[in-house]
Chains A and B, each alone.
Chain A
Amino acid sequence: AQTVTQSQPEMSVQEAETVTLSCTYDTSESDYYLFWYKQPPSRQMILVIRQEAYKQQNATENRFSVNFQKAAKSFSLKISDSQLGDAAMYFCALTTYGGSQGNLIFGKGTKLSVKP
């Protein structure tokens, strides 16, 4: 069975500062993909960043980057130069391509607050 664990229910960051959200996962599959999704209050979930497990290079998207530690099964998200609009629930998610057909397995989420 695949699991995703986010151990930080809530995090807070000062505007313009950097924050790191943690995620660990477990899967026996060798071929899998990891995602961070953002869910702003009362708005739909959007993809922030994705990482293919076979790629050693950490993914980056503008102010967002990941630290992918495959051996440790860790996948943290770093947000640089935090903005007020970054305040949201952040979900780490995993998908494998065994029999799961790409269904996402989500963690419980981390609520990020950004202080002006």
Chain B
Amino acid sequence: DTGVSQDPRHKITKRGQNVTFRCDPISEHNRLYWYRQTLGQGPEFLTYFQNEAQLEKSRLLSDRFSAERPKGSFSTLEIQRTEQGDSAMYLCASSLGTGQADTQYFGPGTRLTVL
């Protein structure tokens, strides 16, 4: 079990550029979550997948954000036309999906800095 991995770990970009992050969940996990964490705050839910289906999106997920999980394995989160307010740690978590409130296992996060 290699745990949840995220790539890249750090991303610095200029305002207006597009960025894409990748999350590889634990291999047998069906559920995958994206959260955003800003400095001094707890993580905030962005979106959630059950296998390849995106089942819920937060109001935080503006139309500049899009997430995919094409084959029910890894997931990508894309931010178009980045803004300085997008600077944050983006966390991915996965869980087995076999019952209620499965334990979510978190990746190390991708820290985005928008200049």
Any chain A CB within 8 A of the CB of B108?
yes
B101 touches A95 (CB 8 A): yes
Tell me, rounded to whole Å, the shortest Cβ–Cβ distance linking B22 to chain A: 16
On chain B, the number of residues with a Cβ less than 8 Å from chain A's Cβ atoms is 28
Residues of chain B contacted by A68 (CB below 8 angstroms): none
Residues of chain B contacted by A97 (CB below 8 angstroms): 100-101
On chain A, the number of residues with a Cβ less than 8 Å from chain B's Cβ atoms is 25
A106 touching B55 in the complex, CB below 8 Å, given contacts A45-B91, A45-B106: no
Tell me, rounded to whole Å, the shortest Cβ–Cβ distance linking A107 to chain B: 5
Complex Cα distance, B106 from A114, in Å, reads: 24
Residues of chain B contacted by A50 (CB below 8 angstroms): 101, 103
Candidates B42, B56, B105, B108; contact of A106 at CB < 8 Å: B42
Any chain A CB within 8 A of the CB of B48?
yes
Any chain A CB within 8 A of the CB of B74?
no
Candidates B4, B55, B104, B107; contact of A104 at CB < 8 Å: B104
Residues of chain A contacted by B103 (CB below 8 angstroms): 47, 50
Complex Cα distance, B111 from A2, in Å, reads: 27
Residues of chain A contacted by B82 (CB below 8 angstroms): none
Complex Cα distance, B107 from A52, in Å, reads: 24
Complex Cα distance, B37 from A106, in Å, reads: 10
Candidates A33, A44, A101; contact of B108 at CB < 8 Å: A44
Any chain A CB within 8 A of the CB of B40?
yes
Any chain A CB within 8 A of the CB of B41?
yes
**Nearest CB in chain A to that of B100: its residue:** A97
Residues of chain A contacted by B104 (CB below 8 angstroms): 47, 102, 104
Complex Cα distance, B91 from A37, in Å, reads: 14
Candidates B35, B40, B45; contact of A108 at CB < 8 Å: B40
Residues of chain B contacted by A37 (CB below 8 angstroms): 106
Any chain B CB within 8 A of the CB of A79?
no
**Nearest CB in chain B to that of A34: its residue:** B101
Any chain B CB within 8 A of the CB of A91?
yes
Q: Apart from A50-B103, A95-B101, A106-B42, what are 7 other A-B pairs with CB-CB below 8 Å? A: A47-B105, A91-B42, A102-B48, A102-B100, A102-B102, A102-B104, A104-B104
